[in-house]
Amino acid sequence: MTGLRLAAVLLAVFAASFALAQGDPRRSGYREMGPALQKMQDDDAANPAMLFVQAGAAAWAEKAAAGKSCADCHGDATASMKGVAARYPAFSAEAGKPIDLEGRINLCRTTHQQAEALAPESDGLLALSAYVALQSRGQPIAPPDDARLSNLRAEGAELYKRRQGQLNLSCANCHDDHAGRKLAGATIPQGHPTGYPIYRLEWQALGSLKRRLRNCVIGMRAEPWSYDAADYLALESFLMQRAKGMAMDAPGVRP
């Protein structure tokens, strides 16, 4: 490492600890929850998402039609997948466009495993995402420093601020301007994507960040996008950038 780079790294580390000392105003959804739910998330024996993680671990080792399993290429996920979920969405040279973690999993399936893509919100896709995301527990969210993502992030930022739907609300109206307040019985979180996929008690199921965003969009009485829409990818990219440096705590539990 050159002296200059070392200095830059030290500066970054210093800046990060300084931000921490100053009290980072960002709060994860986990921090907004009551102690009972926090305990449920923290305890792997009580966190319902861990059942999906187990299924994901099994799927990781399962050979597909072309004879290859995820493990055949990536080895031990606890080592090779560490920090991976923390840096998606990312630009994929293979796909020629930005993709999110689910997109990456499906790209591996269709190209390297010659298997069918898993459907959005299917148990199979959620299980693999949860298993991969678990390997980033405690890792800081680290969006790639990649100019090919800039447009997508800017689009996401614009969408986040744009009012939409019959109720004429924007994401920012709730998650920036009124976070911490009560929307009926629910505390409005700042909307950080640290814990996805999450087990949501209201769903009685595991769900992706897209499903969560879809819920908010429907709540605003706006037309929900289809699961493969670039709009979700833009919002996800923006939210990850906004949560840069926050610790991943997937798979989360939410009310």
Q: Which of residues 184-213 bind other proteins (CB under 8 A)?
A: 184-185, 188
Smallest separation (angstroms) from ligand HEC to the CB of 221:
10
How many chain residues bind other proteins (CB under 8 A)?
23
165-to-39, 146, 159, 231 alpha-carbon distances in Å: 36, 32, 12, 15
Binding mask 190-219 for ligand HEC (x = CB under 6 A): -xxx-x--x-------------xx--xx-x
3-class DSSP state for residue 58?
A: helix
Q: Which of residues 154-193 bind ligand HEC (CB under 6 A)?
A: 160, 169, 171, 173-175, 183, 186, 188-189, 191-193
Question: Is residue 167 at the binding interface for other proteins, with CB under 8 A as the rule?
Answer: yes
Q: How many CA atoms lie within 13 A of 85 on its CB side?
A: 32
Q: Would you say 240 and 193 are in contact if contact means Cβ atoms under 8 Å apart?
A: yes
Q: Which of 165, 205, 227, 245 binds other proteins (CB under 8 A)?
A: 165
Q: In what order do the strands lie in the sheet with 252-254?
A: 205-207, 198-200, 252-254
Residue closer to ligand HEC (CB basis): 188 or 247: 188
Q: Would you say 152 and 98 are in contact if contact means Cβ atoms under 8 Å apart?
A: yes
How many chain residues bind ligand HEC (CB under 6 A)?
26
Closest CA to 109 of 54, 79, 58, 68: 68
Residue closer to other proteins (CB basis): 123 or 176: 176
Token pair of 243, please?
């949560």
Q: Give residue 114's Cα distance to chain centre.
A: 26
Q: Which residues contact other proteins by CB under 8 A?
A: 162-169, 173-174, 177-178, 181-185, 188, 218, 221-224
Footprint on this chain of ligand HEC (rule: CB under 6 A): 29, 160, 169, 171, 173-175, 183, 186, 188-189, 191-193, 195, 198, 212-213, 216-217, 219-220, 235, 239, 254-255
